[in-house]
Amino acid sequence: MAQVNPAGATPAADPNSIDPRVFPPSARRGSECRELQLGGARATELVEQYGSPLYVIDEAAARDRASEVRVALESEAERIGTSATVYYAGKAFLCVEVAQWMAEEGLAIDVASGGELAVALAAGVDPARIGFHGNNKSEREIARAVEAGVGTIIIDSEVETERIARAAAAADRRQRVRLRVNSGVHASTHDFLATSHEDQKFGQPLSEAPRLVEAILAHDSLEFVGLHCHIGSQIFATDGFRESARRLVGVYPELERIAGRPIPELNLGGGFGIAYTSAQAEQAPEVAAIARQLADIVAETCAEAGVSVPQLAFEPGRAVIGQAGVTLYTVGTTKPVLLAGSDAAADPADLGFAERLYVSVDGGMSDNARPALYGADYQVRIANRESDADPALVRVVGKHCESGDIVVQRDVIPGDVRAGDTLAVAVTGAYCWSLSSNYNYVPRPPVIAVSNGSSRVIVRGETEDELLAKSVIPAPVAPANAG
């Protein structure tokens, strides 16, 4: 199969290894057959019970990470003389049980649609601990949020000020609001993930903040509590946070003059990066380090601006749930392809291999759209066994009718991977189920939670019959009378 080019690079890691910086902490090779276990449950047994593809969420990993992130941000805020509210960004992955986990671990919930709000409310989350985002919230969604007692609604555009004020007045409530602004800081990330440069759909220019805050304060039914800014996603360096915080705090003295009082809150969003591969794990920052640096940034900028340190808010999503998720697939076909000119040195990313093995699985871009959307890469391992076969450079691809239907762009696994093997793709807890589709009429897989060797469904999968039931089938048309 795949041969190593003598002049090329040597594959880095053991192709059977389970990197604890990428897979959930509970992931390990069992003593029997050396197959992958997640939360104490064997991968093959999970596939036998629930089918494939299969989203697996390690409950303990999700809960522990949520608590770790919350404690780190809260304790660092306390160190600089303030407090912090940590919202779980539900858009990463939200279902009723996950919302309950987050609330039980002390996190508030951030939602971005009426549907996500419905999930949080169904989970019994205290409405006062829900933040409602969105660049195009409908009047019906706004009214529902106000009536439910949602703690904070984030104003994304000028027109929303009037909409929220009307809804709050009609409900005889004083609604807390934040104003989302663009700091002009473009985080070092994929263009589609950067959300704080001015030429994009979210928020208002920071220069407009004084005028817009004045408009908010003109409504008795609104309570302005602070600014919100989100500079992007999958951010590894804190430079962008530093500059964004400096710019936001810089306008607080003027906002305080307009309001005639201190502005109590500052929401710096989320976007903390995580490792998707072992190579990326070398650069991914620790949450404690991020929290410490963010706290120092806020304290310094507030001292420079001459304002008291506001209460802080953060909205991590991927950083909480990403590593807790693994997707299991079943291999269907494999196909070796000679790399261009058999010259592996032409692309160092191909690790010195002269051949790439295409491994087709029973899912793809319908259950993980991120590689197609963002060029995202993942790590894959054979889950049902270990092998001492020569390593192969593989590209894991899906079953959809698209050449861009790639699950794992490149990784190295044992070259005897074959039909029927179970593959595990790590770090699929965030933005995989959330972005899933029925492309090519492929049903969405179920989501299961594993814990202490047991498993249970937390989101039911779909069947072909359920997809067909959505189609309106017209009554048969009688043939025209030929006589």
Helices within 225-362 (DSSP H only): 239-259, 278-281, 287-305, 318-321
Q: What is the mean pLDDT of residues 51-57?
A: 98
pLDDT band at 3 (very low <50, low <70, confident <90, very high): very low
pLDDT band at 9 (very low <50, low <70, confident <90, very high): very low
**At residue 229, does pLDDT exceed 50?**
yes
Which amino acid type is present at position 8? G
- Residues 320/359, Cβ–Cβ less than 8 Å: no
Choose between 388 and 198: higher pLDDT.
388
pLDDT given for residue 347 in this prediction: 59
Place of tokens 């810089």: 250
**At residue 483, does pLDDT exceed 70?**
no
**At residue 69, does pLDDT exceed 80?**
yes
pLDDT given for residue 2 in this prediction: 37
> What are the b/e assignments for 6-40, b being 16+ CB within 10 Å?
eebeebeeebbebbebbbbebbebeeeeebbbbbb
pLDDT band at 475 (very low <50, low <70, confident <90, very high): confident
pLDDT given for residue 190 in this prediction: 38
- The lowest-confidence range among 48-52, 233-237, 469-473 is 233-237
State the chain's mean pLDDT as an integer: 91
**At residue 350, does pLDDT exceed 80?**
no
- Cα 326 to its chain centre, rounded Å, is 13
**At residue 351, does pLDDT exceed 80?**
no
- From the candidates 33, 229, 302, 401, which is the catalytic residue? 401
Q: What is the mean pLDDT of residues 144-173?
A: 97
The answer to whether 302 is a known catalytic residue is no
**At residue 340, does pLDDT exceed 90?**
no
List the beta strands (DSSP E) in 367-478. 380-382, 391-397, 406-414, 422-426, 447-451, 454-459
pLDDT given for residue 1 in this prediction: 37
Q: What is the mean pLDDT of residues 165-171?
A: 98
pLDDT band at 477 (very low <50, low <70, confident <90, very high): confident
Nearest to 334 by CA among 420, 439, 401, 405: 420
- The lowest-confidence range among 6-10, 178-182, 468-472 is 6-10
pLDDT in tens, 252-309: 999 999 999 999 999 999 988 999 999 888 888 888 988 999 899 999 999 999 999 9
Q: What is the mean pLDDT of residues 439-467?
A: 97
pLDDT given for residue 482 in this prediction: 55
pLDDT given for residue 232 in this prediction: 81
- Residues 118/109, Cβ–Cβ less than 8 Å: no
pLDDT given for residue 341 in this prediction: 59
pLDDT given for residue 7 in this prediction: 31
- The lowest-confidence range among 14-18, 40-44, 339-343 is 339-343
Q: What is the mean pLDDT of residues 431-439?
A: 97
pLDDT band at 200 (very low <50, low <70, confident <90, very high): low
pLDDT band at 243 (very low <50, low <70, confident <90, very high): confident
The terminus-to-terminus CA distance of the chain in angstroms comes to 67
Query: What does the block give as tokens for 464?
Result: 């072909």
pLDDT given for residue 112 in this prediction: 96
pLDDT band at 410 (very low <50, low <70, confident <90, very high): very high
Query: What does the block give as tokens for 101?
Result: 């986990």
pLDDT given for residue 27 in this prediction: 97
